[in-house]
Amino acid sequence: MTAVIQPPAGVRPAPAVDLMELYRRMRLLRCLDEALADLVEQGLVRGPMHLGIGQEAAGIGATAALEDGDLVTATHRPHAQYVGLGLPLGRTLAEMMGRADGQCGGRGGHMLIADRAHGLLGPSGIVGHSLLLAVGHGLAQRRAGLGRVTLCVTGDGAVNSGAFNEALNMVALWRLPVVVLVENNRYGLSVRLDRHVHQTALHRRAGGYGIPAVQVDGNDVEAVREAVQGAVGRARSAGGPTLVEAVTYRNCPFSGSDRGGYQDPAEAEGLTDPLRLAAERLLARGRRPEELAEADGRAAREIAQAVAFAEASPWPEAADLVALAARWDGEGGR
C-alpha cells in the first residue's frame, strides 16, 4: 500500500504534509468539537450535533492523502472533512449557527456543509448517501479523464444500508476512481458493531465485490494516510476502487441528545487517543514539548477567532425562501 504513484498531469499535488501538520489539524478538529460542545450547551448551535472526539485520525489522515481537485463525500459526522480539507472555519461555524456567512447561508446546518472550492460535495445526514454520491462523482471523474479521485467517507453502521451494496457493486463494475473509507467506530448510533453486523471485519466485505481492501488502526493518523494514499494512487491510475477500514472509537456522545448507557466503559480503556499517539511519536522523533504546546495554543486561538466571527455574523434573510416557494408552488401556494 505504499507505492508512490505520480498523479496524472493537471492534478495539483497537495503540499507534503508531515506528522506535525497532521497533529495540528487533529488538534484544530478537537478544539472545534470541544468548542461546539460548549456552543450547543449555550444554545448558540441548535439541532442535532455529531462530534468526532476520539476519531480525529481517520478523517484527517484520509483527507491528507488527496490532491487539489479531488472530491470528498461525507456523513452526518463530517467535521474531520471540514478541517482536513481546509474549509474556512469561521464560515463553517457560522453555518452551524445558522448565520448568513455560512457556506450554505444557514440552510444546511452542521451536517450539510458543501464547499465545492475545497472539494467537499458533500456530507449528508442520510446514512448511505455518501456512497451513492461517490458513484456519481466517480463516473464524472472517469469520463473527464483528468485523474481526479473521490474519497467516500462512510460509517460501520452504513455498511448495512442497501446503498452500500449498490454502490460497491457499481464502483467495482465500472472501475471507478473511488476510495471508500469506512470509519469503524464500533457503533452505529447506540448499537454495538457485533450486534448490527455478523462479519465484523468490515474490510472483508470488499472481497465479495472483487475490490482490494485494507484494515488500518484508525487512531494512527500516519497509518490511515498511508493506506488512503495507496488507494488514491491506484484510483488515479485507473486501477479502480479500494475499501479502507479505519478502526477507531467515538469518545463522545453520539449527538447532543445521547442519553448514554450503551457503551461499556472498559472498551475505551486500551485505546490510544489519536492526538496522544501522534504527540508521543513527534516527541520520540525529536520534537520539543514546547512545539506541541505552541501548536495546541495556535489551534485554540484559531477556533476562538472562528467562533467570534460566527457569533458576529448576521442572521440570514428569509425573503429568498419566500421567493423560491412562489416560483416552485406557482400561484396560490402558501
Partner 1 sequence: MTRLTYAQALNDALRGEMLRDERIVLLGEDIGVYGGVFSVTSGLLEQFGPDRVLDTPISENGIVGAAVGMAMSGLRPVVEIMYTDFLCLALDSIANGAAVFPFAYGGQVSMPLVIRTQGGAGANAGPQHSKSLEAWTAHLPGVHTVLPSNPADAKGLLTSALRSSEPVVLVEHKLLYGTEGEVPEGEHLVPLERAQVVRPGRDATVIALSRMVGEALVAAEQLAEQQLDVEVIDVRSLRPLDVATLAASARRTGRVVVAGEAWVRYGPTAEIAAAVTEAAFAELRAPVVRVGSLGVPYPASPALEPTVLPDADTLRRAVEDLVKSAR
**Applying CB under 6 A, which residues contact ligand TPP?**
76-77, 125-128, 155-158, 185, 187-189
CA separation, residue 208 to residues 133, 204, 221 (Å)? 21, 8, 28
- DSSP 8-state assignment for residue 49: -
Residue 8 contacts partner 1 per CB under 8 A: no
Q: Does 155 bind Mg ion (CB under 5 A)?
A: yes
Q: Nine-digit cell at 135? A: 458513484
Applying CB under 8 A, the span of 8-16, 20-28, 160-168, 280-288 interacting with partner 1 comes to 160-168
The residue (of 158 and 244) whose beta carbon lies closer to ligand TPP is: 158
Q: Measured from the CB atom, is 156 or 245 closer to Mg ion?
A: 156
| Interaction of residue 41 with partner 1, rule CB under 8 A | no
Site residues for partner 1, 95-154, by CB under 8 A, read: 98-99, 102, 105-112, 124-128
251 vs 272, beta carbon nearer partner 1: 251
Other CB atoms closer than 10 Å to residue 43's CB: what's the count? 7
Q: Which amino acid is at 17?
A: V
What the block records as the C-alpha cell of 26 is: 487533529
String marking each residue 305-334 x if it binds partner 1 according to CB under 8 A = ----------xx-x--xx-xx--xx---xx
Cα four-point dihedral sign 245, 250, 254, 259: positive
- And the C-alpha cell for 24? 495540528
Residues 54 and 274: beta-carbon distance below 8 Å:
yes
Interatomic CA distance for residues 311 and 34, integer angstroms: 16
Q: Which residues within the stretch 209-238 sit at the binding site for partner 1 (CB under 8 A)? A: none
Q: How far is the CB of 157 from ligand TPP (least distance, A)?
A: 3
CA 181 – CA 172 distance, rounded (Å)? 15
Nearest distance in Å: CB 67, ligand TPP: 26
CB 299 within 8 A of CB 31: yes
DSSP state of 6: P
77 is in the binding site of which of ligand TPP, partner 1, Mg ion, none (Cβ under 5 to 8 A by kind)?
ligand TPP
DSSP 263: S
CB 17 within 8 Å of CB 64: yes
Torsion (CA) 8, 57, 55, 166 in degrees, nearest 10: 20
CB of 177 to partner 1, least distance (A): 27
Q: By CB under 8 A, is residue 78 in contact with partner 1?
A: no
Q: Which of 101, 156, 222, 296 binds Mg ion (CB under 5 A)?
A: 156
Q: From the CB of 80, what's the least distance to ligand TPP, in Å?
A: 10
Residue closer to ligand TPP by CB (options 133, 295) is: 133
Question: Cell digits for 251?
Answer: 469518545
Q: Which of 248, 169, 152, 235 is nearest to 205 (CA)?
A: 169
Q: Which residues bind Mg ion (CB under 5 A)?
A: 155-157, 185, 187-188
Q: Which residues bind partner 1 (CB under 8 A)?
A: 46-48, 98-99, 102, 105-112, 124-128, 157-158, 160-162, 188-192, 195-197, 257, 259, 261-262, 315-316, 318, 321-322, 324-325, 328-329, 333-334
